[in-house]
Structures are given as structure tokens and as C-alpha cells.
A and B are shown apart, each in its own frame.
Chain A
Amino acid sequence: MSTTKWIAAAAVGALLIAGQALAADKKVVAVSIPAADHGWTAGIVYHAQAAAKEINAAFPNVEVIVKTSPSASAQVSALEDLSAGRKLDALVILPYTSEELTTPVKAVKDAGTFITVVDRGLNDSSIQDLYLAGDNIAVGRNTAKFLIDRLEGKGNLVVLRGIPTVIDDERIKGFQDAIQGTDLKVLDIQYANWNSDEAFKLMQDYLAKYPQIDAVWANDDDMLLGVLEAVKQSGRKDIKLALGGNGMKDIVKKVIDGDAMTPVETPYPPAMIKTAIYMTVANIVGQAPVRGTVKLDAPLITQENAKEYYFPDSPF
């Protein structure tokens, strides 16, 4: 009886020690991102979870934890929870807002954690060890270049804007700077808040207002879906091109299928969170130097390279 007890106690003790040793060996990488509340953030969540799964399987001594938060204040609490129990080796964060998250991220940094910031920057750029983002100006510029090329430098355009934010402003600026000096004329530009329903209505109104439209730029794929439906309903034949942006799978599929109205796409891919997580882990596991700023370009997605940007299982 007592021998059994002793053996059991020894076994439990050994397990405890082993468990602690294992935990101590594991490098912890926390990923803090917004919860999925629209297509693009849904893509962020999907790719972050995919990266965590792949890395946890590939590197037994690394543990990637993904935590989603529905608001800025919830993200602040999530940071506190993540860093309360144990030491984080790295934090990959896509901040909800720059203002509210700057101080909490600094607190995590002060505890000796490697900080990777994705997409939205913090107010104090000295906090981040690695900053990774897409290029919104290039999204506008590359779309404009394609339109100039395809329409041979002249034609009537209508443009749909998103929600008034820096992201939207940069895209529009990149676009307008690129078409300056050409005979492409922007007939109208209005907000449709990155919403398909509002884009549908706005496009109907554009069609009623202008008898001749050569191309539409929707600046985002959710809005492009509404635009395409309105054009289809009108039965108008003058609209040659309708382009979006972001890299939604339905639109990338159109590019793969060689759609006449939407032959190209400009990415602002949510998969960038995956790039950030892999780079961070490369630093921790492989001692690869990654400190710095990485700006993903927004190369045109065409029929040739579309496969690289097509994620059929992603919600976006």
C-alpha cells in the first residue's frame, strides 16, 4: 500500500518537474488582433490561426497563442492577461487604435518582450522592434496605372471611397496623384463606407447621373461586389472596367477565371499577419535578424500570379 503511494507520489513529482522544465523551455509568442467583424479582419483571424497551427506543429519549443479582441479597451485587457501569468518572448500585435494601445504595448516591451507591430502603427515608433504593413498609396497608384494603361490615358471614371480614415485617404491620394496629367477624368467621388449595400446604391446613382462611364474604382472588394450588381442590373455596356482592392477570395477568383470587367486586383492582404508571425518566430528560433520596417508592396494580381493570393478556405 505505502509503496504504491510512494511510487504514485514520485511519478506525480517527476511529471510536475518535467512539466515545468518543458514550460520553461518553450518560447511564448502572443498574437493580439481585432476580432472578426468584417471581411478583412476575418481574414486576419484566419491567417493568424493558420500561422499559429503551422508553427506550433513545426517547432515544439515555440508556443504561439492567438487572442482576438472586439474593441480597443478589450485589447488592452487582453495584453494585461497575456503578460500577467508568464514572460512573453514576443508579441505580435495589430492595434485597434494607435492612441489607446501605445502605452499598454510599451508596458509589455519594458518587461523585455520583442514587439512586432502590424498594419496600424503605434504613436511611438521606438516601441516596435519590427513593423510590418502594406502600402495603401501603392494600392491606389497601381490601380491607377493599370487604368491609364488599359484606357489609353483617357476616359470617365467614378470612384467610391471607404470610411474616412488614413487608409482611405492614402489609397485615394495614390490614385489621384497617379492620374494627374492624364485625360482620365474622375466624374464623381463619394463615400460608401466599405459596405456592399451602400456601394450598390451609390453605383445606381452614379449610373443615373452619368450617361457615359468608362471605369469604376471601388477601393475595396466588399464595395466592388455592390458595384458589379448595380452595373449588371442597369444592363449598361459603357462600363469597361470595375476594380476593387484588398484581395477578397471571390474577386481573386474572378481574376483567375479571366473576368473581362475585373481582370486585375490590388492586394492589401490580411495574410500579412502571417508574414509578421513567421518573421518574429524566425528571430526567436533561428536567430535571423528581423528588426526594422517591412513594407509589403501592392503588386497587381493578374491571371498569372493570382494563385499566390487565392485562399479558398479563408472567410475573406
Chain B
Amino acid sequence: MTIIASSTAIRPEREWNIGWTDVGPFVALVVLMLIGFLINPDFLSATNLGNVVTRSAFIAIIAVGATFVISSGGLDLSVGSMAAFITGITIMFMNRMAPEWGVLAIPAGMTVAIVVGLLCGLMNGLIVTIGKIEPFIATLGTMGIFRALITYMSDGGSIPIDRSLRDAYRPVYFGTFVGIPLPIIISVAVAAVASFILYKMKYGRKCAAVGANEDVARYSGISIIKTRTIAYAIQGTCVAVAAICYVPRLGAATPTTGVLWELQVITAVVIGGTALRGGKGHVWGTVAGAVILELIANLMVLSDFVSEYLVAGVQGVIIIIAMLIQRFSK
């Protein structure tokens, strides 16, 4: 009896200590949901939560990629513009191929999106690593390039998807599988693959090592250039996956697509527990961070006490409080 009692007393405490940074964002998430329920019971309705989590999918998927980049000590400001650019290229490709290939143009376009995303990410990575340019400046440059390209491709207007493809493609955002919206399933799958790479594969440990201390990593025989470049390529691929989910939502790419997503992405990663200066990445925390951001925006609309003029200010305060809850609950 005594043995059992003492062992049950120790075990939870140990797990508690190990998991805190991982659990923190989820605690903030639960607190937010409770507050939301108190303010407006509709908040916890299945439709509302489904909507909110579904639309946080883009930021979540991109932020999973950003977890790699930030964990390895980099930064990518170009993700929002890159998402718009990939969306534009994908729609143009699908429209071009639609008359010949019909609905098959959709999977072909998705493949094009992934390839373009990979190349964009690779370009960012090589500029940062081989070119030895500060990630902030390098990706600020490519951010301008991608934004200009989508504006040029659309003549400043919009690139709508062909009507014949619209209905066939629509389920990728609006469809469900066993009752769960597809974008949620896709983002969970992306996060699962990412956490496998980051926690179970050698590359993941290299990533954290490079981010934590570049010199030590170099002396341990880790190639900084290779590790960081791969992180940017992963980021590009994630942006492409997000773009694939984004196209069917409004069926068009415009010069304002993805504006300021980079800031939401970085915020989601940091709320999720990954340090902006690099080191260990927290994939699931990042996903929770993306959901938290959308929940806050949702809460602002569902509550009646915030003037429309003050919404952004209150959002800022809530983000800071959410971070403080994490900090002090350690």
C-alpha cells in the first residue's frame, strides 16, 4: 500500500516538470475558452469553434514551418507574401490546364504549389546561409519581391479560379471528414509530421543545436548551412500546403492576400513556447498559439463590451496576458 501511494505521488510531479513549456499554451487556450463561454455561451457552440479552428489552419500550418526556421535561429518575414505568390501561381496554372485536363488540373496545381513553395523556401535559405545575409533583411527583401510579383500577375486586381474548378475544389476548405473540417485534419497531419521530424529524427536535434548555440553545433560537426537551408525549405513547403487550403476559401488571389500573416505566424510560434532567439521548437504549442490568436479575434466580435475602435488594442493586451499566464504558471 505505502509503496503504491508513494509512487503515485512522485510520478505526476515528474511529468508536470517535464511538460510545462508544452502545456503552457494549452492552459492559456483553456482559460481563454472559459472566458469566452462566460461572455457569450454561443462561443462554445460546435459551429463557432469549428469555424475558428478551421480558419486558424493557414496560420497554424505556416507557423509549424516557422517553428523550424525560428528554432534553428532564423526568421522568415516573407511567408505572407509567399503564400499570396504561390496562391497566384497555382490558380494561374490550374486555369491554364483546366480546359485540357478538367478536374485533374487541381491535383496537378497542388503539385506545382508544393514545388514552387519548396523553391521559394530554398531561395530564402540559400540567401541567408550561402549569402550570409541577416535573415531579417534577406526575407524582408524576398517579402517585397513576392508581394510585387502577385501584384504584377494580377494587375493589382484579383486572379480568380476557373468556374469549372471551383465546385470540385471547394471541399478542400469547406468539406469535412468524419465530421471534422478538412483544413483541421490537414494542419494536424502537418504538425504530426513536423513533430516527428523535430523530435524523433536526427535533423530535429541538429536544428535545435544550431539555434541554441551555433559555435558549439559547428564544433560538433553539424553543417550550419545545410541545417538552416533545410529549415527554410520546410517553411516554404508549409506555406505551399497552406496556400493549397487557402485557394478554395475565396477562390482568388489578390495583392492583399496574406498581408501581415508573417507577424501572426511569428506570434503563434512565440505564444507556443519557442524562443525567438532559437533553440528547442514546440510544434504543438505553435498550433495552440495559432488557435489562440484566432480565438481572441473571435472573442472580440462575440463580446459586446469592446468598441470597434479599440479591438486591436484589447487583442494586444490579451496576447501579453496569455504570455504572462504561461510565464508565471511555470
Contact = CB atoms under 8 A, between A and B. Distances in A.
Interface string A246-266: 000010000000000000000
Contacts of A161: 308
B156 A315 contact: yes
A245 interface: no
B95 interface: no
Given A46-B155, A204-B51, A233 B254 contact: no
Contacts of B155: 36, 42, 45-46, 315
A191 B45 CA distance: 24
Interface string A26-43: 000000000111110111
B285 to A, nearest CB: 23
B157 A316 contact: yes
Contacts of A225: 250, 252
B48 A39 contact: no
B256 A38 contact: yes
A190 B309 CA distance: 8
A197 B257 contact: yes
Interface in B31-51: 40, 42, 45, 47-48, 51
Interface string B227-260: 0000000000000000000000111101111010
B250 A36 contact: no
Given A39-B254, A201-B297, A229 B249 contact: yes
B151 interface: yes
B301 A42 contact: no
B306 to A, nearest CB: 10
Interface stretch (A55-63, A205-213, A282-290, A293-301): A205-213
B192 interface: no
Contacts of B111: none
How extensive is the interface on chain A, given as a class? 35 or more
A222 interface: yes
A200 interface: yes
Given A38-B256, A233-B174, A209 B302 contact: yes
Contacts of B311: 190-191
Interface residues of B, number: 32
A189 B301 CA distance: 9
A108 interface: no
B250 A205 contact: no
Nearest to B251: A229
A163 B256 CA distance: 13
A196 interface: yes
A38 B255 contact: yes
Contacts of A238: none
A39 B40 CA distance: 36
Given A161-B308, A204-B51, A38 B254 contact: yes
A38 B255 CA distance: 6
A103 interface: no
Interface string A204-240: 1110110000000000001001100100011000000
A302 interface: no
**Interface core residue of A36, A45, A197, A316 (most chain B CB under 10 Å):** A197
A45 B156 CA distance: 9
Contacts of B249: 197, 200, 229
Contacts of A202: 301
A229 B156 CA distance: 22
Contact of B151 (A37, A201, A316): A37
B257 A36 contact: no
A95 B313 CA distance: 30
B267 interface: no
Contacts of A83: none
A85 B325 CA distance: 63
Contacts of B280: none
A138 B169 CA distance: 39
B16 to A, nearest CB: 36
A188 interface: yes
Given A39-B158, A315-B154, A208 B47 contact: yes
Contacts of B309: 164
Interface in B305-321: 308-309, 311
B206 interface: no
A34 to B, nearest CB: 10
Contacts of B282: none
B56 to A, nearest CB: 10
A195 B256 contact: yes
Interface in B64-100: none
Nearest to A204: B51
A234 B48 CA distance: 11
B85 to A, nearest CB: 15
Interface in A58-109: none
Given A188-B301, A190-B308, A39 B250 contact: no
Contacts of A316: 157
Interface of B: 40, 42, 45, 47-48, 51, 55, 151, 154-158, 160, 174, 249-252, 254-257, 259, 294, 297-298, 301-302, 308-309, 311
Given A37-B151, A39-B156, 6 more contacts: A36-B156, A41-B156, A190-B301, A200-B55, A225-B250, A229-B251
30 contacts: A36-B155, A37-B156, A38-B254, A38-B255, A39-B157, A39-B254, A42-B154, A42-B155, A42-B156, A42-B157, A45-B155, A46-B155, A188-B301, A190-B301, A191-B311, A195-B256, A196-B254, A196-B256, A197-B249, A200-B55, A201-B294, A201-B298, A205-B48, A205-B302, A209-B302, A222-B254, A225-B250, A314-B157, A315-B157, A316-B157
Q: Which 8 A-B pairs have the closest CB atoms?
A: A36-B156, A315-B157, A42-B156, A205-B301, A208-B48, A315-B155, A42-B157, A204-B51
